[in-house]
Amino acid sequence: MIVSTDGIVLRQQKISGGRRIIHIFTKEYGLISVGTNINEKTKKKSALGVRPFTYARYELFKNKGYYNLNNLEVKKSYYAIGEDLDKYISGSYVLEYLFKVLEEEQANIKIFNLTLDFFNVLAVGKSNSLTLPLAFVVKSFAMLGVMPELNSCVRCGKEPEDILFSVKDGGVVCASCCENDDQDTLIFKTNFDIVRLLKYFIKNPLKNFIKVQLKPEVYDELRKIINKYIEYYLGVSGILSDKLIDTDH
């Protein structure tokens, strides 16, 4: 069966016989793995379509659950992102995050459109854009069904005055509800207004975050909380490009 779909290349890997497997986040079919003989190092235009950071239209042959690439038409290449270290780290983080959280052959058009928006913004934005992938991840929570509760204490239901953030409870908790949890490493008392910051991330378009540069201590703490949150609820840990952020900022 021949199928066609728009997709974004997340990663590729070499296999035997000179073939490659490209992992594509597609609009219609979600995350799929596609076999191809195309060598990304050739000068043919089709080679661009099997590289990460590429958005293309793919014609695929599907047989017994396996996909093989018949043809492709590149719609937009974000490969130039790789020429800027900060942008490359930010883009690689999002590609790896998507590869880990997306389910095989489960379409998620909202995240697909968010991903296109992310790369369009990243491509034209300024170099230092490490806040942008954090905003992307926070925005993806609602689309993945794991949005934290930010309006009231998840334990007592009251609007907290002294706010803490509990990863296990999935949102904000008030200090009185956490009196006996001082040893819990997944409860965070931040030195900044985490509710206000997360709501800003949720409500504002990604293009706004090119101009947003958090204070280093705020960025580090927020990143730590988000990493713990995605590990707890999405099973995502060990993102390699996240380690590059440590060495770059």
The reported pLDDT for the residue numbered 159 is 84
Q: Among residues 38, 62, 77, which one ends one of the domains? A: 77
User: Are residue 39 and residue 133 in the same domain, yes or no?
Assistant: no
At CA 4, angle to CA 21 and CA 124, rounded to 5? 75
The reported pLDDT for the residue numbered 242 is 64
User: What is residue 172's three-state secondary structure?
Assistant: strand
User: Are residue 110 and residue 67 in the same domain, yes or no?
Assistant: no
Say what the pTM is: 0.90
Domain boundaries, position 66: 1-77
User: Are residue 53 and residue 169 in the same domain, yes or no?
Assistant: no
User: Are residue 209 and residue 221 in the same domain, yes or no?
Assistant: yes
User: Are residue 95 and residue 199 in the same domain, yes or no?
Assistant: yes
| Domain count along the chain | 2
Q: Among residues 29, 46, 77, which one ends one of the domains? A: 77
User: Are residue 145 and residue 225 in the same domain, yes or no?
Assistant: yes
The reported pLDDT for the residue numbered 244 is 60
Output the domain CATH number for residue 222. Answer: 1.20.1440.120
Q: Along the chain (249 residues), what's the average pLDDT of each consecutive run of 10 residues?
A: 94 81 95 82 67 92 89 87 87 94 94 96 78 94 95 89 90 86 80 87 91 86 92 85 57
Q: Among residues 26, 45, 77, which one ends one of the domains? A: 77
Residues with Cβ within 8 Å of 75's Cβ and at least 6 positions away in sequence, in order, are 6, 55, 56, 57
Phi, psi of 165 (to 5 degrees): -120, 125
The reported pLDDT for the residue numbered 247 is 45
